[in-house]
Amino acid sequence: MERNELLVPVQKTGTFFRLDSYKLIHFFIGMLSEGAASYQKVRDFSSAFGINYQNSNQPQTGFELHPFASDNIRLAELYLHNRRSVVNKRIVFLNKTKLELLLKLIIKKMMSDSIYMQTETGSNSYQRNSFPTSVPHKETFITKYIFSQDHKMISKQFLTTGIIWAIIGGLFSVLFRLQLGFPEERFPILETLFGHWAAGGMIKPEFYYALTTMHGTVLIFFVLTAGLSGTFANLLIPLQIGARDMASPFMNMLSYWFFFAASVVMLSSLFIQTGPAAGGWTVYPPLSALSSASPGSKEGMDYWIIAMILFVASSLLGGLNYISTILNMRTKGMSMARLPLTIWALLFTAILSVLAFPVLLAALVLLLFDRHLGTSFYLSDIYIGGKALANEGGNAILFQHLFWFLGHPEVYIIILPTMGLVSEIIAVHARKPIFGYTAMVVSLMAICVLSFLVWAHHMFTTGLNPFIGSVFVLFTLLIAVPSAIKVFNWLTTLWRGNIRFTPAMLFAIGFVSLFISGGLTGIWLGNSTIDIYLHDTMFVIAHFHIVMGVSAFFGMFAGIYHWFPKMYGRFMNNTLGFIHFWVTLSGAYLIFWPMHYEGLAGMPRRYLDKSGWASFSQFHQLDAMITVVTIIVFCVQLLFLFNYFYSIYKGRRVRTLNPWQANTLEWTTAIRPGHGNWEDEIPEVYRWPYDYSKGGREHIPQAEPVA
């Protein structure tokens, strides 16, 4: 028996089916194990072919289904030969009804996937297109757009929710920057929006802290983690590895709805009487552990914790699904060495998520215990208003260790996907093979490992043992090496390339620029001697926003512009894209670069009013300029939103399958692929994804056989 061939001897019939589909056994066993709901679904699914499960044993295809005398027939020796998996002599017990269902599923599978069928009485060969290539089935609005299990629709759901949160998080920054840039001014719009929290048109200090908390939380977790990875992992993993869908479409759907539930809870906290959480996006105890500490430590903090627990559940469901899909569902010929760098980046991102987020989950559960069950994991001897609390024996630094064990991998959970997107986009639009493919993969792996060894560089001022501090300095400086390798390879790929300056390419180049700028200041902060002085200053704000915030947004924008034609079958407007890029890039540097100088002067972060320091008065005009530029940049993001939603319905239509002349498999599908992605068989892969400007040709797709 040859590879990729399934032999099913059925007792009492002597019928053998040979199918060119190694996934078939997993398909029908999964369907049978799901029970009555899936049975009804299969009945509805197959009704379009005239298969009547109750009244007919002969579907319109002409394949005869033999009657069975026994109600307990053994289906024996299921052989599945494939380069990745072998199943031998597996015994499955089926009654008559389920076995008939099994055979009908096999026939249905042959209609869409198989090539060859043989029986004892003869042989029949069929061309692949002899039967319908996609099975029509009725989808309601609910099953198609809301509780969808199609990875492409789930990708759009993550993106849409992420866009909503990006608007909210960005608006928060504009509103509190008004107060920072013009501290003596009163803004009636603030009182209109926030009521007593901004009485007289001026934000109260405690509410300013709540705004910064929500700004950081929603942009870091809900936009740049769920919105970014959820969008591009769902969109690209099945399409680029040659899979019909995710390993578990149902789990994929659950991942989004856990994220949606987290979004609802977090959004609800904005409307409760005591206000949202105000413990910073890091929610350090004791401020977060004591309900009496501040208004933002009351119910709003509980909402924050519950929302983040739901968010962690979403991330774990998604991460496990991404890993299993990449490792187990690659098409024929798609070895790990032929994976696009986007898939490598998303794989390592998923591994980071699965390993790091459970630690945050544990930290948050213990925080809930301290808040409501009287435990003292993070609380020691504390006095509030001269009164001693009953807590003792805890340590607030423990929470910092747990949080940053997730917190620094979280930086790379955000950055790694953008690195993958940018690598693909630069190669496509420079019309050159990516330089140093193996080095790029190894550097991703090194970043993945080292990111778990540097968390305490956020804690140099907490009293770490100097020797331990020096160890974390070493690993922090070491992690710059794989990042530098990636930057070198991107620049070398661009060197003498035939560059097409599309909006996607411009944002990819902008990402490289910002990553270099932010990474250089990270080397400063990685040195404990310098960090002790710069810690908790505006220098850290500038570094963090450039290297992780703005650069990640640039990678996300690049991905949206590049894969928009695959998502919606239309192009975004290039002119609006160019305006979006240049204003955003210029604005990003005008906003955050001056903050480095403020930090070097010792200006603290997270302070609403700095009038108490005469030395900072010289920065008033600089803060005003930063605020004005922030408003302009925010307005340009609204221009992007207009371009995005307008182009969905009115953008220029895509007329060819491969508008960018790229090599990866997603461009071999229909312009707007349906559920299942490929109408015909899944393409086989013969080469790596970066054969550009080779052999006198501009590009050679992965699915093209080697001559």
Query: Between the CA atoms of 325, 331, 332 and 335, what dihedral angle is there, to the nearest 10 degrees?
Result: -50
Instruction: Report the chain's mean pLDDT, rounded to a whole number.
Output: 83
Residue 177 lies in a domain: yes
Beta strands 86-94 and 73-81: pairing type? Answer: antiparallel
User: Do 523 and 401 fall into the same domain?
Assistant: yes
Q: Is residue 665 situated within a structural domain?
A: no
- Residue 553 maps to a domain: yes
| pLDDT of amino acid 106 | 58
Assess whether pLDDT exceeds 90 at residue 30.
no
Flag whether pLDDT at 304 surpasses 90.
yes
- Which pLDDT does position 115 carry in this prediction? 32
**What pLDDT does residue 23 have?**
42
pLDDT in tens, 183-233: 888 999 999 989 889 999 999 988 999 999 999 999 999 999 999 999 999
- Same domain for 112 and 187, yes or no, is no
Q: Are residues 184 and 64 in the same domain?
A: no
pTM exceeds cut of 0.75? yes
Please give the share of the chain, as a percent, with pLDDT higher than 70. 80
Peptide bond connecting 286 to the previous residue in cis, omega within 30 degrees of 0: yes
Nearest residue to 108 via CA among 29, 14, 43: 43
Residue 395 lies in a domain: yes
* Strand pairing class (86-94; 116-119): unpaired
Q: 602: helix, coil or strand?
A: coil
**Does one domain contain both 417 and 345?**
yes
Domain contains 381: yes
- The answer on 14 and 69 residing in a single domain is yes
* pLDDT of 160 over the 80 cut: yes
Together in a domain, 433 and 525: yes
192 and 82 within one domain:
no
Query: Cα separation of 214 and 169, whole Å?
Result: 7
Q: Is the pLDDT of residue 122 over 70?
A: no
Q: How far apart are CA 341 and CA 343, in angstroms?
A: 5
Q: Which residues contact 548 (CB under 8 A, 6 or more apart)?
A: 224, 411, 414, 415, 518
Range of the structural domain that residue 353 is part of: 148-650
58 Cβ contact list (under 8 Å, min separation 6): 64, 65
Most confident of the ranges 101-105, 354-358, 655-659: 354-358
Which is higher by pLDDT, 668 or 680? 668
- pLDDT tens digits, one per residue of 605-657: 989 888 788 888 889 999 999 999 999 999 999 999 999 999 999 999 999 99
Structure confidence at residue 707 as a pLDDT band (50, 70, 90): confident
Residues 42 and 99 in one domain: yes
pLDDT tens readout for residues 364-393: 999 999 999 989 999 988 877 778 777 788
pLDDT at residue 583 tops 80: yes
Closest CA to 703 of 19, 344, 241, 23: 241
Q: Which of 95, 130, 165 is the last residue of a domain?
A: 130
Q: Give residue 703's identity as a one-letter amino acid code.
A: A
Which residue, chain included where needed, has tokens 């890039």?
585
Between CA 450 and CA 575 the distance in angstroms is: 41
Query: Is pLDDT above 70 for 37?
Result: no
* Overall number of domains in the chain: 2
Out of 99, 130, 161, pick the residue that ends a domain.
130
How confident is the model over 51-96, as pLDDT tens digits? Answer: 343 333 333 333 233 333 233 223 322 323 333 333 333 334 444 4
Q: Is residue 19 part of a domain?
A: yes
Give the pLDDT band of residue 103 (cuts 50, 70, 90).
low
Residues 197 and 345 in one domain: yes
**pLDDT of 117 higher than 80:** no
Chain centroid offset of residue 403 CA: 20
User: Are β-strands 387-388 and 383-384 bridged in parallel, bridged antiparallel, or unpaired?
Assistant: antiparallel
- Which residues touch 587 (CB under 8 Å, ≥6 apart)? 629, 630, 632, 633, 636
Does 135 have pLDDT greater than 60?
no
- Integer Cα distance of 43 and 64 in angstroms: 18
The CATH number linked to 353 is 1.20.210.10
Q: Are residues 429 and 519 in the same domain?
A: yes
In this structure, of 283-297, 512-526, 628-642, the range with the lowest mean pLDDT score is 283-297
Lookup result for tokens 């739901």: 310
Whether 596 shows a pLDDT value over 80: the answer reads yes
Last residue of a domain, one of 97, 130, 163: 130
3-state SS track over 444-503: HHHHHHHHHHCHHHHCHHHCCCHHHHHHHHHHHHHCHHHHHHHHHHHHHHHCCCCCCCCH
Asked if the model's pLDDT at residue 396 lies above 80, the reply is yes
Predicted confidence at residue 3, as pLDDT, reads 33
Position 311 confidence tier, pLDDT thresholds 50, 70, 90: very high
| pLDDT above 50 for 279 | yes
For the record, the structure tokens of 547 come out as 């290297």
d(CA 371, CA 380): 13
Q: What is the reported pLDDT for 100?
A: 56
Report if residue 664 sits inside a domain: no
- Looking at 294-303, 437-446, 562-571, which range is the least confident one? 294-303
- Helix (H) or strand (E) segment spanning residue 582: helix 574-600
Contacts of 471 (CB under 8 A, 6+ apart): none
Residue 114 has pLDDT above 80, yes or no: no
pLDDT at 511 over 60: yes
Angle, helices 480-494 vs 503-526, to 10°: value is 150
Top-confidence residue, 2 or 597: 597
Question: What angle is formed at CA 446 by the lines to CA 445 and CA 447, rounded to 5 degrees?
Answer: 90
232 and 367 fall within a common domain: yes
Q: Quote the pLDDT of residue 143.
A: 84
Helices and strands (DSSP H and E) totals, the chain: 21, 10
138 pLDDT band, cuts 50/70/90, is low
399 and 470 assigned to the same domain: yes
Helical ranges in 373-390 per DSSP H? none
- The conformation of residue 570, written as its DSSP 8-state character, comes to B
Q: How confident is the model at residue 419 (pLDDT cuts 50, 70, 90)?
A: very high
The pLDDT value given to residue 165: 97
pLDDT of residue 294: 84
Q: How long is the chain?
A: 707
Provide the pLDDT for residue 108: 53
Is residue 692 included in any domain, yes or no? Answer: no
- Distant-in-sequence, close-in-space partners of 157: CB < 8 Å, separation ≥ 6: 148, 256, 260
Q: What is the pLDDT of residue 460?
A: 92
Please write the tens of the pLDDT for every residue from 439-487: 999 999 999 999 999 999 999 999 888 899 999 999 999 999 999 999 9
